[in-house]
């Protein structure tokens, strides 16, 4: 995987936390919603957990990562190249 590709963020959250997350995919502060976000999601956390949050803006399930940051590649050679970077 190239270094410039953003990876998802694993965020540990606790019960009672309120997050304001971006669902427009355009905020520079992804996965958090910026002040001008057109589709913010206010999420009240019910229990302690880990969230996998999108930082590339390509997910169809924003603000959560759906794997779109690294679409499938055909063939073992390409998968190996992505894994090793060579
Ligand atoms: S980080 Fe955006 S889809 Fe995974």
Ligand 1 pocket, Cβ-based, cut-off 6 angstroms:
6, 8, 54-56, 58-59, 65-69
- Tell how far the Cα of 53 is from the centroid of ligand 1, in angstroms: 7
* Residue for token pair 């930082």: 55
Query: pLDDT tens, 60-77?
Result: 999 999 999 988 888 999
What is the 3-class SS of the chain, one letter each residue?
Answer: CCCCCCCCEEEEECCCCEEEEECCCCCCCCCECCCCCCCEEEEECCCCEEEEECCCCCCCCCCECCCCCCCCCCCHHHHHHHHHCC
Per-residue pLDDT tens digits for 30-49: 999 999 999 999 999 999 99
How many angstroms is it from 58 CA to the middle of ligand 1?
6
- For residue 2, pLDDT over 60 is answered with no
pLDDT tens-digit readout, 75-85:
999 888 888 88
């Amino acid at each position: 995987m190239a270094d410039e590709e953003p990876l998802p963020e694993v965020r540990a959250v606790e019960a009672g936390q309120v997050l304001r997350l971006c669902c427009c995919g355009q905020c520079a502060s992804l996965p958090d919603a910026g002040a001008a976000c057109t589709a913010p999601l206010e999420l009240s956390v019910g229990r302690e957990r880990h969230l996998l949050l999108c930082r590339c803006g390509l997910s169809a399930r924003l603000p959560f990562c759906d794997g779109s940051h690294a679409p499938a590649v055909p063939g073992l050679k390409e998968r190996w190249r992505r894994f090793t970077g060579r």
